[in-house]
Amino acid sequence: MDNLYHTDFYRWKEQQKQHLIHKRFDQLDLKRLIEEVDDMGRSERNTLESHLVILLLHLLKYQYQTYVINPNLFEPKEFRSWYDSISQARMAISRLIRKNPSLQHEQDDAVHESYPDAKSGAIREMNKYLLKKYQLNEQSYPDTCPWSFDQIMQEDWLPEA
């Protein structure tokens, strides 16, 4: 069984499924089944954090472009490009939580865990378009997320200056 788990995971999974269906509990690879069940839960949390990184990243970029760059432009522009990605991330998060309601208990912690990656990404991505003297750094955004989960998930909410 050990070798099958490492050489043909799909076949191992099917074998475990058959053991369960036919109630051959003594033939189950319990150690690895427990690990796989644990990974399934971790996967959902990782998916939530991944969607939150995208949402927070685009909210940070929207805020910077709207309130730092835009007021300094000769002809102000509206940065509509972030609206769709913000909306799509919100929908993906809502769908994930609807399918996995217990993630509601994880959402605030997931925002806390996701924010540093979003902040780093926003700095990196914004710096591609800024002159060296205007480059962003770690102090360009707050150390912790300035918004709550409920706030960022409001359909029409966008950050202010």
**pLDDT value of residue 21:** 96
Q: What H or E segment, with its residue span, contains residue 38?
A: helix 30-64
Average the pLDDT over 119-135 and give the result: 90
How confident is the model over 82-92, as a mean pLDDT?
92
Mean pLDDT for the chain overall: 90
pLDDT reading at 158 higher than 60? yes
pLDDT digits (tens, 9 = 90+) for 41-59: 788 999 999 999 999 999 9
pLDDT of residue 20: 96
Q: What's the pLDDT score for residue 68? A: 74
Q: How far apart are CA 94 and CA 70, in angstroms?
A: 31
Model confidence at 78, pLDDT cuts 50, 70, 90, reads low
Percent of residues in the chain assigned helix, strand, coil, to nearest 5: 75, 0, 25
Q: Is the pLDDT of residue 149 over 70?
A: yes
pLDDT band for position 73 (cuts 50, 70, 90): low
Higher pLDDT: 31 or 67? It is 31
Question: Which pLDDT score, from 0 to 100, does residue 100 have?
Answer: 92
The C-alpha atoms of residue 28 and residue 73 are separated, in whole angstroms, by 66
The whole-angstrom separation of Cα 135 and Cα 126 is: 8
pLDDT of residue 147: 97
pLDDT > 90: percent of the chain: 68
